[in-house]
Amino acid sequence: MQQQYEGYKDLADSLKSTSALLNLESKSQLHQDIITICNHLVNPTFRIAVFGPFNYGKSTLLNAMLGNRTLPIDLIPTTGAAITVKYGSDVRTRIMLVDGTEIYRSGTEVLQQFAILDGNRQMRKDVASVEVFCPHPFLETGVELLDLPGTNDRDEQDNLIREQLLSADLVIQLLDARKLMTLGERENLRDWLLDRGIQTVIFVANFMNLLELDEQKQVQNRLLFVAASFRAELPSGFSNLYRVDALPALRARLKGDVAAANSSGLAAFETALQNIVGILQPNRGSVRLPRVEAIASQIQLSLKAKIDPIASEIKSFNDKQNAKIEIKEKAANLIYKGFTTSVAELRDWLALPKLLTKYQADAAVALAENNFKAWQTNTLKKDLTQLQLAVVKWLYQAYEFFQEERPQDLLIPFPSEPQVTLPSKSNNTDHLNEPGSIAVGGGIGWLLGGPVGAAVVGSISYLLNKNIQKQDQQSAKESYHQEVAKLCITAIDEYLSSFSSQGLSILNEYEQKAAKVICFEFSQEPPEITKKRESLQQLQNGFNQLLRELEKVKILSNYQFYQEIPKSRNSNGKYSPQPERVQTSSQKDTGNNTRVESVSPPPPKAPPSPRPEEVEAKFRDWEVNEEIARMKAEMRTPGSQTGKQQNTTQSNKAPNQPKTQTEKDKITHAYNILGLQANASLAEVKQAYRTLVKKWHPDLFVNQPQLLKQAQEKIHLVNEAYALLSEK
């Protein structure tokens, strides 16, 4: 049994620690109840309290049970303190004062000084506790009797009674048969007992002997009704209603008149009381835990009232932080994807096979015509600049968004202009009727001058078309202009090879530096939020610990365990998108940098129409820019939704209805242009716009004047319709 009550110590400690989290006033009712029930939980003594209004005979009943005038009784209210009667070898009294002074006296006469009301019917404020020791066999079984002041007199006394009732394992509520169950008694029964989990109650009716026989029968019937309506938690087979005429019982005991004691009802009551105690005493937990449940429910409710607002505030903060982080991550990934795509395009362009395929012939001709510098500026540099800007723009986009490290411009220099040392001429002058001597440079003339220079230009085309790298053998005798053409081709090959190697090296270094630009640092949690999070964790831990202790003693709760709110993703460090190498087309095609020389120079012609995939690439680029711009706007909006949430909301929400007929007509026309039904969602509007742009993009019709004009008109209408519907 002792082990059982040691087990309740953890529950008592948990109740105390959780109540400390509430910062309760020391004089508050809940704080007092917690201290009382915690002390009572670990108390091995079985306590019986006698409870009722003044002048109901509480002290008289106890004196009759003890067989002497142990407690002070009088015709006026006397008991001014809670007097605990314990077992002792002789009658003596111990009084503890508030200042710690102990007054220990033989007998009980000292009670007249410290345990009765003063002339103003008030309790002494300097008395902490009053104990009376008595050699009674019932007390020797580990039972304490508690004589409480009368109720319905002063608030201070009522507060003392409420506190003491919580520490009683069994309550004897004394009733006056002459005025049975007043309104005040019914309220006390509900507020002080039932609502606090105190259900081990026995009713004892006093003063029945003062009524006529007919009245006694009527009162007895009413008493039975009262007792039946109260569901006392007593052992089965025992009544919760007894009649005891307290004063006749005391007189009978003092005289030793057994017959008179029996007729007063005292003997029957004592027998039942001792049997009830004998059953309840070994399992006091079943008596005390319902009171713990009532108090724990109040603690949990109060804790929840403190926990939930803080939890809601922290969750709201986390949601906002995570939304911002999600936007930043999405922006970083979009920018990084655009950057890597642009880098891949530039890397693909810098691959030597691609450079040779695209520029070898024209560059060799420009070199032969002594026009290489102009070709490098107007063709090669123009293409390179466009590709470099496409790469760099993403880093500036990232810098504008994240404000991390400022990006550097991507600068890929050109090698020195290729130089050709002319071979000495042989005595045999070449004839210009050879297949490779057709002039293709417009007769500009080269350093050799005259028709021989033009022949060199023609030989370049001839030699590249014949793919001299794949010939089994060269002719034994080679014409002079073919020899010079080969020197020009070789010089261009070396130039482009050097340009490719240096450009790829610079691009690789530049790509590595981009990680410092396309990234963002997770912001640290504000100190005030951290402090609230710590406070919340402490409150939740206390709440959960109390819940676990209640479960151990089989007290069920309607509450669930609190889960720790994870921190927002704001740990120290930076977020950088994971590199995802985009394979270049040259790598896909050859897997190496094999030189390609047998490519004929394309003849001059009108700019080719973009392929559908090029239009798609432009559209994707536009979409990414639009998405990043939207995310920037979200970042400036406090409490913004995440992109996913906002897109979902927008996708499922039809545009607002216009107010005027003119607006309605414009919107109806816009829907018709996009081929949609009225009130289509924004997601449907965007998809229709995308489809029409791909179909009518003007770049698709650059070589078809009539269709180009039609496409320009169509795309103008589509853009207007999309702008109107997407703004609503």
Please name each of the domains of the chain with its CATH number: 24-38+46-299 (3.40.50.300), 318-525+567-604 (no CATH), 623-728 (1.10.287.110)
Grouping H, G, I as helix, E, B as strand and the rest as coil, residue 204 is strand
Q: What string of DSSP letters covers 110-125?
A: THHHHSB--TTS---T
Question: Of the given ranges (6-10, 190-194, 257-261, 494-498), which has the lowest mean pLDDT?
Answer: 6-10
Bigger pLDDT: 209 vs 582: 209
List pLDDT tens digits, range 610-642. 555 555 555 556 566 666 666 666 655 554 444
- Residue 476's CB is within 10 A of a number of other CB atoms, namely 5
Q: Distance between CA 31 and CA 21 in Å, rounded?
A: 11
Tell me the pTM. 0.62
List pLDDT tens digits, range 493-502. 999 999 999 9
Q: What string of DSSP letters covers 648-712?
A: HHHHHSPPPPPSSHHHHHHHHHHHHHTT--TT--HHHHHHHHHHHHHHH-GGGGTT-HHHHHHHH
Q: Is the pLDDT of residue 179 over 90?
A: no
- Note whether 206 and 57 are within 8 A (CB): yes
């432009």: which residue's tokens? 618
Grouping H, G, I as helix, E, B as strand and the rest as coil, residue 417 is coil
Residue 250, H or E segment: helix 246-255
Residue 521, H or E segment: strand 520-521
Q: Distance between CA 109 and CA 486 in Å, rounded?
A: 135
- Note whether 553 and 313 are within 8 A (CB): no
Q: Distance between CA 509 and CA 581 in Å, rounded?
A: 14
Spell out the SS3 assignment of 213-228.
HHHHHHHHHHHHHHHH
Interacting residues of 374 by C-beta distance below 8 A, sequence separation 6+: 366
């509430």: which residue's tokens? 22
- Note whether 84 and 131 are within 8 A (CB): yes
């070589």: which residue's tokens? 703
pLDDT of residue 118: 62
Residue 147, H or E segment: strand 143-147
Written as six digits, the tokens of 532 are: 């609230």
Residue 84, H or E segment: strand 83-87
* Angle, vertex CA 163, rays to CA 158 and CA 167, nearest 5: 140
Bigger pLDDT: 160 vs 271: 271
Q: Is the pLDDT of residue 475 over 50?
A: no
Report the chain's C-alpha Rg in angstroms. 51
pLDDT of residue 476: 38
pLDDT of residue 558: 85
Q: Distance between CA 162 and CA 192 in Å, rounded?
A: 6
Strand partners, 574: 521
Grouping H, G, I as helix, E, B as strand and the rest as coil, residue 51 is strand
Q: Are strands 46-51 and 170-176 parallel, antiparallel or unpaired?
A: parallel
- Of 603, 599, 585, the residue nearest 360 (C-alpha): 599
Q: Is the pLDDT of residue 584 over 70?
A: no
List pLDDT tens digits, range 21-74. 999 988 888 998 999 999 998 888 999 999 888 888 888 999 999 988 777 665
- Arithmetic mean of pLDDT, 348-375: 92
- Arithmetic mean of pLDDT, 587-597: 41
Strand partners, 171: 49, 201
Q: Is the pLDDT of residue 436 over 50?
A: no
Residue 501 burial (10 A CB sphere; 0-12, 13-18, 19+)? middle
Phi/psi region, residue 584 (left: phi>0; alpha: psi -120 to 50; beta: rest), is: beta
Q: Is the pLDDT of residue 468 over 50?
A: no
In this prediction, residue 441 has a pLDDT band, given cuts at 50, 70 and 90, of very low
Q: Distance between CA 369 and CA 446 in Å, rounded?
A: 5
List pLDDT tens digits, range 291-317. 899 899 999 999 999 999 999 999 999
């009667």: which residue's tokens? 85
- Of 576, 642, 120, 679, the residue nearest 333 (C-alpha): 576
Written as six digits, the tokens of 624 are: 């990414």
- Note whether 381 and 478 are within 8 A (CB): no
Q: Distance between CA 164 and CA 79 in Å, rounded?
A: 14
Residue 134, H or E segment: strand 127-134
- Note whether 600 and 461 are within 8 A (CB): yes
- What percentage of the chain reaches a pLDDT higher than 70? 77
Chain mean pLDDT for the chain: 80
In this prediction, residue 443 has a pLDDT band, given cuts at 50, 70 and 90, of very low
Strand partners, 131: 84, 94
Distance, first Cα to last Cα, the chain: 76
Q: Distance between CA 448 and CA 369 in Å, rounded?
A: 10
**Residue 71 CA: distances (Å) to CA of 60, 89, 248, 601, 687:** 8, 17, 16, 126, 94
In this prediction, residue 588 has a pLDDT band, given cuts at 50, 70 and 90, of very low
